[in-house]
Amino acid sequence: MTVSLSRHGDIALVRLDNPPVNALGRAVREGLLAVLAETEADLSLRAVVLAGAGKLFVGGADIAEFDAPPQPPHLPEVLARIEAARLPWIAALHGQALGGGLELALACRFRVAAAGARFALPEVNLGLIPGAGGTQRLPRLIGAGAALEMAAERRMVSADEALALGLVDHVAAGQVEEDAVAFARAALDRPLPAPVGARPVADPGAAFWQEAAARIAKAAKGQAAPLAALEVMRIGVERGFAAGSTAERARFLALRDSDEAAALRHLFFAERAAPRPAALRGVAPVALSAVGVVGGGTMGAGIAAALRNAGLPVVLSERDPAALERGLATLRGIFDAAAKRGLTTPEEAAARMAGVTGTVGLHGLAGCDLVIEAVFEDLAVKREVFGALATICAPGAVLATNTSYIDPRLIFDGLAGPDRCIGLHFFSPAQVMKLVEIIPLPDTSATVLATGFDLAARLGKVPVQSGICDGFIGNRILRRYRAEAEAMLRDGVAHWAIDAAMRGFGYAMGPFEMQDLAGLDISFLHREAARARGEAVPETPGDLLVRAGRKGQKTGGGWYDYAPGDRTPRLSDKAARIVAPLAGPARDMAEGDIVARLIAAMAAEGQAILDEGIAASPQDIDLVEVHGYGFPRIKGGPMFLTARQATRG
Ligand code: 3H9
């Protein structure tokens, strides 16, 4: 039974039981109406306590239903019936009450919270607004300011905060269902308050709404939902509950069908599927008590920081004392910066640093269960590191390379215990970027593969398994993306027009601005090395810029000019003259066409990657692009976007 009814004397206890998160799917909505009819008809009852089974009250509406037309009974109607019931309903809230789950609680006459309960309206994360009265009842309970922070600005509140705000009436000292029954009995001795939807709400005035709209629009980064939540809340505050509810429902339904919401739903389910590949079901990972990191450069220090942020003890190895000192200083800088930004306390930053042991050479890594190599991208250097580690580390220790381009089969070739070797490709800055590409070799054991996934979960990262190819999934698509951008240059489209189009699409920067940030010299050196080996690598505009001393931001110029200490790209006549020999006769191209051509190239490469079995699913490719390369989340990823456009014709 998804909705069950039991009796405690004159109090009914309704329990929702719809694992894993008691989502308010159709069966639950029907069940609620059925118990409502039963309790309303039972004149021996005086109140109804509503609780959720399992680890939380309700995680929201059933997101899996949103790809099909809404099915009756609709949630707003169910909630309106609960609010208008003869018997007062008392929500007993534990774990979390999210989205439609909080809206359900708002339709009750009272709310009792367990001490650790938390409350949020996270619909905007899915490109939606609350669609069952959340934007209307919440301001009537806690005021427009606090309600807006929750509905439009992702604020989650604890039980104590909820009590202070008036969102809940009581925080349970003991078991929340029992407390709610006792609360109900006591409440029945007093006159009942008005239903939340019938309560008055103070209008904070036009200036408040305008200021909030400006703030929310700025933070929304092109997303429609946050501002829509404000707009419908404002209608309800200014024109009343009925007008607000009608506006809310209309906006919710329109957003539910939008590309933005479909994209965010796609990522919601992809992100939840990623950590649990079917092939690893039941496979236990290696238990990690200490992790080694070889190399204290930007990448190694970033990985060490990510490990420490997750509470794992770290041994950081460098080849000489000076390099170790630099690595430890980089790491300290990362923790101090986090404390300065208020992300941790100074004490916590110090504790994270205290959990790092520095060591010169590799012998200090002997006690680690996992060692991640993040040294210079050079096959011989990496082989030397693993040759030594294979004898230093215990036979069961996992050996991982963070290589981004070198074939890991070459790195580990001939090593004893090939089953314990794996690629773990982090993205810079590793303490921030969510993506980890997990690259098993032909001999990697399931236990070691499971350890990679387990590590990613512990670090709060998104794991994507990749087969072996040049650049794995992400850098291979990046190469294709850049090649297509350069092909457009040869067709006469200006680099700044391409950058502007991709920024307009939602990237933080375009492909040429990105090259300036990363530095043009590294890929130039790769091409030069290939040429030295006798490979036919055609001249690129990047070659011309580097030869002219323009390596990007670090030299004050690349594709653009940069003023000292300022990362703002400025158009450069000089750069334009340098690349002119490789650029076609100038022509305009509409922004939409530029974007379409680049996305099509990415999706085509993604399809090739799928066809070759390098990636398991289009979802995995989209996760790589969104979490590793800044693809705008509200567009869902190149594979999703291309498929959705194709179904539209
Ligand atoms: C809404 O409510 C709209 C209303 O305003 C209006 C309606 C008219 N639906 O995250 P986990 C699944 S919009 C369906 O790994 P955790 C999830 O896919 C909704 N399924 O667990 C996964 O399935 P599987 C507003 C859902 O413990 C499993 O549950 N609410 C839903 O780390 C476990 O998920 C939200 O946006 C759902 N609502 O975290 C909350 N939620 O095992 C979204 C989860 O098959 N959910 N699943 O892979 C969350 O934030 C987290 O899932 C939660 C649990 C905190 C609940």
How does pLDDT run across 252-310, given as a tens digit for each residue? Answer: 999 999 999 999 999 999 999 999 999 999 999 999 999 999 999 999 999 999 999 99
Strand-strand pairing, 370-373 and 356-360: unpaired
Class of domain 285-465: alpha beta
What is the distance, to the nearest Å, from the Cα of residue 12 to the centroid of all Cα atoms in its chain? 40
The one-letter amino acid at 210: Q
Residue 218 CB less than 6 A away from ligand 1: no
* Class (C level, CATH) for 3-257: alpha beta
Residue 221 has a pLDDT of: 85
Q: Give per-residue pLDDT as tens, 144-189.
A: 999 999 999 999 999 999 999 999 999 999 899 999 999 999 999 8
Binding site membership of 23 for ligand 1 (Cβ less than 6 Å): yes
Expressed in angstroms and rounded, the spacing between residue 97 Cα and the centre of ligand 1 is 11
Q: Is 180 in contact with 49 (CB distance < 8 Å)?
A: yes
Positive or negative, the Cα torsion across 231, 234, 239, 243?
positive
528 is catalytic: no
Return the H-helix or E-strand segment holding 371. Answer: strand 370-373
Beta pairing, strands 370-373 & 398-401: parallel
Centre of ligand 1 from the C-alpha of residue 94, in Å = 16
Task: State residue 1's pLDDT score.
Answer: 79
Task: For residues 455 and 439, give the distance between their C-alpha atoms in angstroms, rounded to a whole number.
Answer: 13
Cβ of 107 below 6 Å from ligand 1: no
The band of 226, judged by pLDDT with boundaries at 50, 70 and 90, is very high
Over residues 100-111, the pLDDT tens digits come to 999 999 999 999
Query: Which two three-digit tokens encode residue 22?
Result: 């008691």
CA of 622 to the centre of ligand 1 (A): 20
Specify which residues 443 forms β-bridges with. none
Q: What is the pTM of this model?
A: 0.94
Pair of tokens at residue 568? 């703002």
Q: Is the CB of 133 under 6 A from ligand 1?
A: no
Backbone angle region of 632, left / alpha / beta, with phi > 0 → left and psi within -120 to 50 → alpha: beta
| Nearest ligand 1 atom to alpha carbon 276 | 48
pLDDT digits (tens, 9 = 90+) for 327-336: 999 999 999 9
Residue 525: count other Cβ atoms within 10 Å of its Cβ. Answer: 11
d(CA 134, CA 124): 12
Task: Please list the alpha-helical segments (H only) found in 240-320.
Answer: 241-256, 259-273, 298-309
Per-residue pLDDT band at 385 (split at 50, 70, 90): very high
Cβ 64 under 6 angstroms from ligand 1: yes
Please state, in angstroms and rounded to a whole number, the distance separating the CA atoms of residues 442 and 437.
16
* Mean of pLDDT values over 47-71: 97
For residue 542, pLDDT over 80 is answered with yes
State both tokens at 74: 């609709």
Angle made by CA atoms 101, 105, 106, in degrees to the nearest 5 = 115
pLDDT given for residue 522 in this prediction: 84
Bigger pLDDT: 523 vs 568 = 568
- CA of 21 from ligand 1 middle (Å) equals 6
Cα torsion 259, 262, 264, 266 to 10°: value is -130
Cα→Cα distances 270→72, 129, 275, 579, 609, Å:
28, 21, 9, 41, 18
- pLDDT tens digits along 344-353: 999 999 999 9
- Is position 605 annotated as part of the catalytic site? no
Cis peptide bond prior to 429, omega within 30° of 0? yes
Is 274 touching ligand 1 by the criterion CB < 6 Å?
no
Question: Which of 21, 56, 268 gets mutated to test ligand 1 (max ligand atoms within 8 A of its CB)?
Answer: 21
Question: For tokens 């036919």, what's the residue?
Answer: 536
Ligand 1 atom closest to residue 122's alpha carbon, by position in its atom list: 36
Domain positions in the chain: 3-257, 285-465, 474-613
Residue 563: is it exposed, middle or buried by C-beta count within 10 angstroms (0-12/13-18/19+)?
exposed
Q: Is the CB of 245 under 6 A from ligand 1?
A: no
Is the Cβ–Cβ distance between 320 and 358 less than 8 Å? no
3-class secondary-structure state, position 477: helix
Closest residue by Cα to atom 22, ligand 1, is: 272
User: Does the beta carbon of 471 lie inside 6 Å of ligand 1?
Assistant: no
Whether residue 59 has its Cβ less than 6 Å from ligand 1: yes
Q: Can you read off the two tokens belonging to residue 491?
A: 């067709």
Quick one: pLDDT band at residue 523, thresholds 50, 70, 90? confident
Of these residues, 123, 177, 260, 318, which one is catalytic? 123
Ligand 1 proximity of 450 Cβ (cutoff 6 Å)? no
Q: How confident is the model at residue 647 (pLDDT cuts 50, 70, 90)?
A: confident
Torsions phi, psi for 316 (to 5 deg): -105, 125
d(CA 281, CA 273): 12
* CA of 59, closest atom in ligand 1: 56
The continuous run of DSSP H or E covering 157 comes out as strand 157-158
Residue 356 has pLDDT above 80, yes or no: yes
Task: Report how far apart, in Å, the C-alpha atoms of 298 and of each of 259, 265, 307, 630 are.
Answer: 37, 34, 14, 19
Instruction: Specify the ligand 1 atom closest to the Cα of 74.
Output: 8
* Ligand 1 atom closest to 103 (CA): 5
Instruction: Say which of 83, 103, 248, 373 is annotated catalytic.
Output: 103
248 Cβ inside 6 Å of ligand 1 = no
CA 310 to chain centre: 17
Q: Which residues lie closer than 8 Å to 165 by C-beta, 6 or more apart?
A: 141, 142, 143, 146, 157
Q: Give the span between the Cα atoms of 578 and 545, in whole angstroms.
A: 7
Asked if 132 contacts 76 with a C-beta cutoff of 8 angstroms, the reply is yes
Distance 98 CA to ligand 1 centre (A): 9
Q: Count of CB atoms within 10 A of residue 397's CB?
A: 22
pLDDT band at 649 (very low <50, low <70, confident <90, very high): low
Q: Tell me, what's the pLDDT at 347?
A: 95
What does the alpha-carbon distance between residue 62 and residue 38 come to, in Å, rounded to a whole number?
25
Tokens at residue 397, please?
């220790």
Q: Determine if ligand 1 sits within 6 Å of the CB of residue 639.
A: no
Is residue 472 a contact partner of residue 427, using CB atoms and an 8 Å limit?
Answer: no
Atom of ligand 1 nearest to the CA of 273: 48
Report whether pLDDT(590) > 70: yes
Q: What is the CATH number of domain 474-613?
A: 1.10.1040.50
* Best mutation site among 2, 16, 63 for ligand 1 pocket (most ligand atoms within 8 Å of CB): 63
pLDDT at 526: 85
Q: Name the residue at shortest CA distance from atom 11 of ligand 1.
A: 272
Minimum CA distance residue for ligand 1 atom 19:
60
